[in-house]
């Protein structure tokens, strides 16, 4: 019987993954060592959060304490993390302009940029979307090798290995219910998924669900375990 490797969420060392060009979309997050079934790949506080029923929030502490505001008072540590994240989706000259601005004006511009970034790079959770520094790189796949766990109480986004992930493989999660036919998946996504398994499914529809049937028991067992032990809410 396979053993679940349930590791507690913690701040992971960046050397266990790295971002590089992805065959799926732009940059992706790739492992630098193997991960076992159930192991934490990444666990980080959200930099910003947008609830479906309210205004965006910015997390002003490294522990991930979010608050609603049109402008926010940013601690030194959180601003440093936000600036590193902004480099991924804001042109350098705009960052330079932002650095030359001080006080409330800078905070207002930063907040506006985060709202814009949320629209393009926010990761879906059950009640909205979150912007997470490392997880920003994680691409969607209709046959993912990991899944996201969102701890709303602590504003922490954790990614666990759904199956064993070998060294050098891209980490992917599904933004939707992946146990659907391809046209329905694309409708939910709002775009045509070009992950390797979707491409293969267009050539042989039986291939996709054959692969899912092979890994689904292990995935379901892991998720059932986490829910039973209140290991945060599972997000599909």
At residue 169, the pLDDT reads: 94
Residue 80 neighbours by CB distance under 10 Å: 12
Query: Do 118 and 50 meet the contact criterion of CB atoms below 8 Å apart?
Result: yes
> Residue 115 has what pLDDT?
58
pLDDT tens per residue, range 29-73: 899 999 988 888 888 777 666 666 665 565 654 445 555 544 444
Residue 225 burial (CB count, 10 A)? 13
Largest CA distance in the chain: 59
Its pTM surpasses 0.85: no
What is the predicted pLDDT for the residue at 229?
63
* Residue ranges, the chain, pLDDT below 50: 1-13, 61-63, 69-74, 232-236
- Residue 22: how many other CB atoms lie within 10 Å: 16
- Contact (Cβ atoms closer than 8 angstroms) between residue 129 and residue 47: no
pLDDT at 30: 93
Pairing of strands 233-235, 56-59: unpaired
At 165 the pLDDT is 92
Centre a 10 Å sphere on the Cβ of residue 44 and count the other Cβ atoms it contains. 22
- Domains (range + CATH), the chain: 14-46+132-235 (2.170.270.10), 48-131 (no CATH)
Residue 150 to residue 18: CA distance in whole angstroms: 22
Give pLDDT, residue 108: 59
Candidates 231, 45, 218; CA nearest to 144 is 218
Q: Which two tokens stand for residue 199?
A: 């491409």
């Amino acid at each position: 019987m396979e053993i679940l490797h349930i590791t507690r969420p913690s701040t992971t060392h960046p050397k266990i993954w790295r971002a590089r060009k992805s065959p799926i979309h732009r940059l992706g997050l790739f492992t630098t060592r193997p991960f076992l079934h159930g192991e934490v790949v990444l666990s980080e506080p959200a930099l910003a959060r947008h609830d479906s029923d309210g205004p965006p929030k910015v997390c002003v502490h490294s522990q991930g304490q979010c608050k609603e505001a049109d402008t926010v008072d940013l601690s030194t540590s959180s601003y440093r993390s936000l600036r590193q994240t902004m480099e991924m989706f804001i042109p350098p000259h705009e960052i330079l302009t932002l650095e030359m601005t001080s006080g409330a004006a800078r905070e207002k511009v930063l907040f506006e940029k985060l709202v814009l970034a949320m629209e393009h790079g926010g990761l879906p959770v059950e009640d909205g979307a979150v912007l997470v520094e490392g997880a920003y790189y994680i691409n969607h796949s209709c046959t993912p090798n990991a899944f996201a766990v969102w701890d709303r109480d602590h504003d922490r986004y954790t990614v666990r290995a759904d199956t064993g992930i070998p060294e050098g493989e891209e980490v992917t999660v599904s933004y939707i219910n992946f146990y659907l036919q391809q046209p329905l998946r694309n409708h939910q996504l709002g775009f045509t998924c070009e992950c390797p398994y979707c491409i293969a499914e267009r050539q042989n529809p039986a291939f996709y669900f054959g692969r899912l049937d092979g890994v689904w028991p292990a995935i379901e067992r892991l998720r059932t375990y986490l829910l039973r032990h209140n290991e945060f809410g599972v997000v599909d």
